[in-house]
Amino acid sequence: MASSDGFSAEEKAAIKERARELKAQAKQADLTQALLDTIAEMPKAEREMAEKIHAIITEHAPGLTPKNWYGMPGWARDGAIVVFFQSAEKFTSRYSTLGFNDPAQLDDGNMWPTAYALTSITATEEATIVKLVKKAAG
């Protein structure tokens, strides 16, 4: 039954749901742009690695969403960071780090690595990262 404004309760509920969807999409677009801006500010070598990791995750783990984490690029599931890239320069380290947090599905027995040192990404490292990301994303 239509209310005095012409919309039924079901139509009003659908309109509210669509508004929530649009708001979530706008927020995700903002989060993605913030991550891309963070990557763009990195020194060339780190920027290239972070861009490659972002491309790998976008292609092979589309269920993970871009989200900066402690000022570094991260990719989350249900708001929790699964994968992150840590800049060597920002933390005055010898190498950058590709890391995985608890939500990552990397479990392998009683012990497994959750962080990897990176100085560059060749085809060999890219293949390894693809496998890790796919496994981490579940």
CATH number at residue 25: 3.90.1150
Per-residue pLDDT of the chain (138 residues; tens, 9 = 90+): 555 668 888 888 878 877 776 776 677 778 899 999 999 999 999 999 999 999 999 999 999 999 999 999 999 999 899 999 999 998 899 999 999 999 999 999 999 999 999 999 999 999 999 999 999 998
Q: How many separate domains does the chain show?
A: 1
Domain membership of residue 3 (yes or no) is no
- Could you give the angle at the alpha carbon of 61 between the alpha carbons of 37 and 20, nearest 5°? 70
Are 76 and 82 spatial neighbours (Cβ–Cβ below 8 Å)?
Answer: yes
Domain membership of residue 2 (yes or no) is no
Domain membership of residue 77 (yes or no) is yes
Are 90 and 99 spatial neighbours (Cβ–Cβ below 8 Å)?
Answer: no
Token pair belonging to 108? 């392998």
The rounded Cα 44 to chain-centroid distance in angstroms is: 20
pTM (two decimals): 0.82
Domain membership of residue 100 (yes or no) is yes
User: Residues 12-26, buried b or exposed e (16+ Cβ, 10 A)?
Assistant: eeeeeeeeeeeeeee
Domain membership of residue 41 (yes or no) is yes
Domain membership of residue 4 (yes or no) is no
Domain membership of residue 64 (yes or no) is yes
Range of the domain at 93: 9-137
